[in-house]
Structure 1
Amino acid sequence: MEREPVKRLPLSDVNKSTLHLNSSSIFTGLVEQCRRKPPPTFFFSSGPERKKCHSGFSFAPAMLKERPDCSKARCEVQFSPRCPEDSVLIEGYAPPGECCPLPSRCVCSPAGCLRKVCQPGYLNILVSKGSGKPGECCDLYECKPVFSVDCSTVECPRVQQVQCPPDSYETQVRLTADGCCTLPTRCECLPGLCGFPQCTAGSSPEVVFHGNGNPGQCCDVYECINETKPACSFNGSEYHDGDMFRMDACRFCRCQGGVSVCFTAQCGILHCERHYVPERECCPVCEGTTSSPNDLAPD
C-alpha cells in the first residue's frame, strides 16, 4: 500500500504537547493514526484537514512516544521452543519503548484438544484434568463400556486369590461380558526372567532341570560344574592336570590336559675338585654337600 505524503507543521502551529528534540529522540506532537494492526502509520493533522484512510482503517488521535536509541543495545539470543501438539508458538516481539524482544513461548490451544470418539456401547469418561501447561493442556478421556444389565440380580461366583511362584506374576483383574463379575486371575511367567548363568573360571553351566514355560517351572535350572580335565598315567600312577612327576633321575614331567610335558634337568657348574652323584639324583655335588648350587634347572 502506497503511503500518503506527510505534511510538515510550521513551528507556529506546534502546540503545547510538542516535545523538545535531543540526540536520542524524534519529533513528537499531536498526531492521528490509521489504526488496524501494529505497527500503525502516523500522520500529522494540520488544522481542520483530516487524512483519508484506506478501507478498513479509521482515524484516531494519538501521541507519538519517544523512540529509544537501540544502536548500542545488546539483546540476548532467543531460540524458539518446539511446542507440543496441544499448544501453539507465540513469537517474541519488542514491546513499545524497548529494544530487545521478549522470548517466544508456547501457549495452550483449545483447538489442539480432541476428545476420543467412542464406539456404540462405550462412554467418554474423564480420567484426568488438563493443567493448562503446554504438554498437559487437554483433559484426558477414556472410552469405558456402558452396561445396561442390572447387576443387582446377578450372583457372582467366589474368586479365590492366586498365589504365584517367584518366577511368575498374577494377571490383571478382568470383568465378565456383562460387567458385573470379576474373572479369576492366573499366573504367567515373568518376561525376561530366564537366562544363562555366568560360571567362574574352571567351571561350566549344565542343565539340572528343564523348564516347561509354566509358572513354577518357567526356566531351565543350571548348575556350575567344575570342568574335569583328562589325567596323565605313568608307571601305574595317575596324575591330575597340573601335577608334576618324575620319569627318572634327570627327567621331570607336568600333566597338561592329559598330556605329559617333560623336560630334562640341567646341572649347574661345580667349583670343586672332588664331587659325586647322590643316589636317585641326576646332578653331581661337591663332597661334603648334599646338593649342587644350581640343581635341576630345566632346559
Structure 2
Amino acid sequence: CRLNGQKVFGEATLSEDPCVKCTCSGHKLTCTKRSCPVLQCPLSKQIRTPGECCPRCIERREEIHRGSPMCIIGKAVHFPGKPYHGDQCSNCTCQNGTSICEKSTCPILECALEDQQREPGECCPSCPMPAEFRSTCTAAGKVYQNNETWSLNACTSCECRAGEVRCANIQCPKKKCGPNETLLTVSGECCPRCVESPAVCTVFGDPHYKTFDGNFYSFQGSCKYQLTADCVGHTFSIRVTNDARLTKYSSWTKTVTLKLEGVKVNLGHRMRVKVNGTRVEPPYRLNQTLDIYRSDDGTEVIVETALGVKLSWDGLNFIQVQVPTAYKGKLCGLCGNYNSIFRDDLFTRAGLNMTHNVWRFARSWAVGGPKACTRQRKKELAARHPQCKSKKLYPLCKPLRTAEVFGRCNSLLNPDNYYESCRFDMCECPHRQCYCDSMAAYAHECVRQGVQLPDWRSLTGCSRNASGLLPAARAGQFLPLEPNAIGAGILQQQLQQQQQGSNSIRRHPKRLRRPKLHEPQEQELDLPPQLTHDRKHHKLLHHPLYRKQQLLQQQQQRLQEQNSIPVRPISGNRRTPPPLQR
C-alpha cells in the first residue's frame, strides 16, 4: 500500500492529522479517524498540543455536588430529558445528572490541517476551493511535478498534489521478540522486525547436550558420534569422539571433526588444529572456504565457514555449533533436527522417536564401529545407570543459583539444567573443578543473551585453561582484551601479527631426537627447575633427563674413586699390588 507516496506495511499515521490512522491489509489501505470526547470547558479554554489528536481543557475540572438531576456543561444548566448541543458536533441529552452525547464524525480531508476551514455553525471543516491548478511543488529548494513522490527518510515520504506537499510518517509499533528472535532493522525499511536468530547447539561437561531447539539431555557414551550434519544437501558434517578417561560412568569430548567439501578440520585437546591431516596454527585461512582463529581472550578456537556454520572449541570439553536459519529442517544428529520443536529432537537415524530412551537415540548416531569406543560394550551398557560415588562436592555448584555470580542472567535464563549437570559431573570427577564446565557453559549462554557478568571465574575459583591461552599469556604476559573485536576483526588482527602474512600452512616444528645414553657427553646436562626432585614429585625419578643425569654422576664418581685410592708401602720384597679395578 502507498500513503502519500510512502510504502506502508503495517500501521501508519498521517503527519498532518494525528487523529487519522491507516492500516495496510491485503494490499488495501484502511483509514480510521479518532473521535474526541466532549469537553466541559468553552473553546477559549481549550488547548491542542502539537502531535496529539484531541484538545484538552486548560483549567482543572471541578466537581459540583448538587441534589437535583440537572446537567451542567460549562456555564449552562440543562434539565433532564431536554436535548441540547454540547458543541457544534454533539447532540446531548441530560439523564439523571449525566450528559449522554452523540458526536458526528467528520470525513477525512485531503488538505493539510492548517488549510482547513470551518464555517460558522458547521460541525465539520472543509478544504478551500483551489484558486488555480498548480502542477508543481517546491520543497527544500527543489521543484517537484504533480503526483511526484520523494522520501525524506525511511519513515517519511512526500507527494506533490495540485501544488501542495503532502507527507506521511510511519509510526513503528512496539514489538517484543520471542526467545530465539532478534529485533533487526532491514536496510530500506522504517520499522524493525523480529528476525530469527541463528540456532546454537552446545556440548559441555560429562557430556551434556543442548540441541538447536533447546532440548536438554545427558549422554555418557564413549564412542564416536555424529553431532550434526546437513542430511538434505550434505554440505557439512560434525563428528565428536568421546573418551571415558578410565571412569565407569563418565566420558568427555576428546576430538571434534568438521567435514566440508574437500576439507577436513580436526580439533584436538589443548586446541590443536589439523587441516586435511596437517598441523596448523591459528590464525589460518583456507581460500574462501573457512577461517580459523582464537577468541579474543584466547580460550577457544573458532572455525567459521563460508556456509555460515561456526564451530567453537575450548580444547577440553566445550563445543558450540552455530548454524544459520537456512539449515532449518535439514539437520540431524545429536543436536536434533532444528525445526523449532524441542519435543521431536530425539529421533534416531531410522526415524524413531526415542524421547523416553536417550541412550538408544544417541547410539543410533554412532559412527566408526566398536574400534572407535574407549570402553568395552559391557561397561558401556553399565554407564546407562550411573551411580554417584560422593555428594560432598555438591555445594560447589551453588553459585549457579546465587544472585552474586549469575543473578543478572538468572532473570532471563533458567539455571536448573546447568545446576543438575554440575551435580552429575561432581559424582565422578577426576579433579575438583568439574563444576567449572557447567558454569562456563552457562556463562557462554548468558553472554549470548547480551548479559554482562562479573568476573565469575574469580568468584567461583575456576581458573582459565592454561593450555588454552595465547603464547604471551602462557609466558606470564597477559594480552589486553578488546571487547569490540569479534569475528572477522579478530581474524584480520591475528593475520597481521604473522610475520610472513601468507596463507601457507604453518607446520608444527619437528622434535629433536634425544642423544642415546651410550653416546659421549662432554657437558653435564642441567635439569630444568621444574624437574628438581622432591618428595612431592617422586615420579620425576623416571624422567629420561633425570635418569641420564644420574648415570653421568655415577660415571664421574667411579672415576674419582679410581684416582683417589691410597697406596701404602709394604716392607720386604713383596711387590706393591696394582690399583683395584672396579
Calculate the TM-score normalised by the size of structure 2: 0.18
Q: Which has the higher contact order (CA 8 A, sep 6+)?
A: 2
Calculate the TM-score normalised by the size of structure 1: 0.30
Structure with the greater alpha carbon radius of gyration: 1
Structure with more of its chain in helix, by fraction: 2
